[in-house]
Structure 1
């Protein structure tokens, strides 16, 4: 897939921290409305890859293209404005505000908390927020303070906040961390719904969840791409079993 054909294209990406190579020439392609799941042991470089894509970690060499345009080492703000939405592992929400207000603050073009809340709410903005809330399963919690929500619901609020920014691709870093089994399953259904209109990249450790959502899996190990393919291909790959899946099975049995 050529850079101009992919929504997101990463070529030979290297990231170095104080002489340590966190990424050693990683390639990644994400197509239109595709779910790509990134797995690998701790320290494999998964979060660093997302950080480099969104401008949070400096790229030593290599290239990042978004819709054919090179965005390597642009600022996080500029990359977000272009249409790449990023959710980090821990929810970054306003606990003292309602769910609705959190999404209102995230609408594209919003500049400050007070200005957003005091501004007259147009019917267009209200409708957009309600559509996003419905998509993440929180429409009935619209006027509930975020502080009173469960951990899983707070994760959904932040996914909604990302969607409110009008991205065309959404990057999610371990979106099910700390969730109950029911919340994890519902998150999978939310992500599959999002993929009907957006490209999605997910970092995840839970292989059952990966099997629920993944169209294609990329495996990272020690800063390099070990392999990629379907769930079946990855699960049967001897190298993946050795460095990742075998360890996961041992941990699960412990």
Structure 2
């Protein structure tokens, strides 16, 4: 396999990894979108995935959750192979994903959105009309507290900001009781204050979950990252701490240098 830069193995020991990707390849009509990527995510660890547009970040996440078929390689969750299982099966097992754009119910309240997402809920009408138990109520309030929207519980979602809608969708993922939370560009379209607050929310998530974040904003990455994985043209370029990645000459050449040029333009 051609590689752009020889790298050390993941710093998470295999027996400690809750999510493992092993030499995964994804091919679309002969085009290799992912070229043998491997990575491990430890329990209660925050891993961020960065790279230029077209690097394969979202495709890799799609492969993990069964949305894009894996041509070769393996994905393991808690030691069990989940390669090419259906997205529903993978979600049920304990991997929750938030996509780039918030997918929320604007005409319902914040509380009702989380209620609909609770594990075991079936259908919008049935979920809202079902008698709310004290256990469910406490769970919803706990989720809303974690995403900073407890005081907005009975506010209609349509009246909230874009950033707050993003937080609701993070809450909807948490309501499914995942062990691993995958977040695809969670700060897209946010104000600077909302971006910072999102970082603080994500850091608290790691108290109970493993978190994998795709992100472009390097200041945000520095706020949250415990380990960074850099993708380029479908391959893993390198991985390491914020300091290691920021000072890696190859990363500067293919990604961070471009980001600095864009910022100066």
Superposition deviation, residue 79 in structure 1? 0.2
The answer on whether the counterparts of 1:21 and 1:223 sit within 8 Å (CA) in structure 2 is yes
Kindly report which structure 2 residues correspond to 1:14-25, keeping only aligned pairs within 5 A, or say none: 14-25=25-36
After TM superposition, the score normalised by the length of structure 1 is 0.99
For residue 185 of structure 1, what is the aligned residue in structure 2? 196
* 1:161 corresponds to 2:172: yes
- SS at 1:242's partner residue? helix
Q: Which residue of 2 aligns with 1:128?
A: 139
Shift of 1:5: 2.9
Is residue 4–residue 67 contact of structure 1 (8 Å, CA) maintained in 2? Answer: no
1:156 and 1:45 map into 2 onto residues whose CA distance is: 25
Listed as ranges, the matches of 1:43-122 within 5 Å are 43-122=54-133
Q: Deviations over 1:31-63 (max 9, x none)?
A: 010000000000000000000000000000000
Say which SS state the counterpart of residue 140 (structure 2) adopts. helix
2:6 aligns with: none
SS of 1:126's partner is: helix
Deviations 1:216-254 (A, max 9, x none): 000000000000000000000000000000000000000
Give the structure 2 partner of residue 235 of structure 1: 246
Contact 1:5/1:68, CA 8 A, preserved across alignment? no
What is the alpha-carbon distance in structure 1 between the residues aligned to residue 114 and residue 150 of structure 2? Answer: 12
Give the structure 2 partner of residue 144 of structure 1. 155
Structure 1 runs, 4 residues or longer, greater than 4 Å off: 1-4
What is aligned with 2:222? 211
Shift in Å, 1:4: 4.5
What is the aligned partner in structure 2 of residue 173 from structure 1?
184
The Cα offsets for residues 169-228 of structure 1, whole Å up to 9 and x where unpaired, read as: 100000000000000000000000000110000000000000000000000000000000
* TM-score where L is the length of structure 2: 0.95
Quote how far apart the aligned CAs of 1:28 are: 1.1
Please, which of 1, 23, 46 is the counterpart of residue 35 of structure 1?
Answer: 46
